[in-house]
Amino acid sequence: MAMRTIFGSLEDHTQGDAEIISGSVKHYVFSNMFAVAAKSAPYEKVVVAKNLEYVMEAIRAEGTSPWFACSHDEFVIDMDGDVTIEFVKLNEPNAVAPRDREGTVAVSGEPAGRRMGTIELKRGHQALLPAGAAYRFTAARPGVLLMQTILGPLSVQKWADICMHPQTEGVLA
């Protein structure tokens, strides 16, 4: 039997389910990054997966984001749409994103530093968001980004609103 891969998008996705291989079904929940992004504000960083302090965040890319920075490297994958990332090498990275603070932080105003260039992402492309740099996203039409980072001050956790439970097939309440 031939298998067919179906790619979701913000405009066309299907809520799937979880096939439990081991353990009890009551220990599992899942969500759909496209469904989460469809209900999110532009550039809201909604946590959709967590492993210790590391998180995966679904982000609705729409318009131009504020500037962000981080004291550690982050990664982003473009799951839907075209997104441009601008970079600035910060003059004082520790003043913007202190080494003892984890996760993404907002940069107040225009970041002070040297322009580093841009990256043009299309569906499936991944980019490194390096420590010591500020970055912002621009998307001409709504899309979806999936970011790997560490839980931080801009990470939004709303598990009861986004998680589906395979036993009840409904949102956890």
The pLDDT tens digits of the residues spanning 63-99 come to 999 999 999 999 999 999 999 999 999 999 999 999 9
pLDDT of residue 83: 98
pLDDT of residue 150: 97
CA-based R_g, the chain, Å: 17
DSSP type of residue 30: B
72 by Cβ neighbours in 10 Å (0-12 / 13-18 / 19+) ranks as: middle
Mean pLDDT of the region 18-39 = 69
Per-residue pLDDT tens for 103-115?
Answer: 999 999 999 999 9
Is the pLDDT at 173 greater than 50, yes or no?
no
Query: 53 or 133: which carries more pLDDT confidence?
Result: 133
Measured in whole angstroms, the distance separating CA 138 from the mean position of its chain's CA atoms is 14
| Local confidence band at 15 (pLDDT 50, 70, 90 cut-offs) | low
* pTM reported for the whole predicted model: 0.83
CATH architecture of the domain with residue range 42-171 = Sandwich (2.60)
**Cα–Cα dist 25/21, whole Å:** 9
Is the pLDDT at 153 greater than 50, yes or no?
yes
Is the pLDDT at 166 greater than 60, yes or no?
no
Mean pLDDT of the region 5-11 = 70
Q: What are residue 142's DSSP bridge partners? A: none
Per-residue pLDDT tens for 43-67?
Answer: 999 999 888 889 999 999 999 999 9
Is the pLDDT at 22 greater than 50, yes or no?
yes
Mean pLDDT of the region 130-137 = 97
For tokens 């097939």, the residue is: 169
**Cα–Cα dist 75/56, whole Å:** 10
Q: What is the token pair recorded at 9?
A: 């998008």
The rounded mean pLDDT for the chain is 86
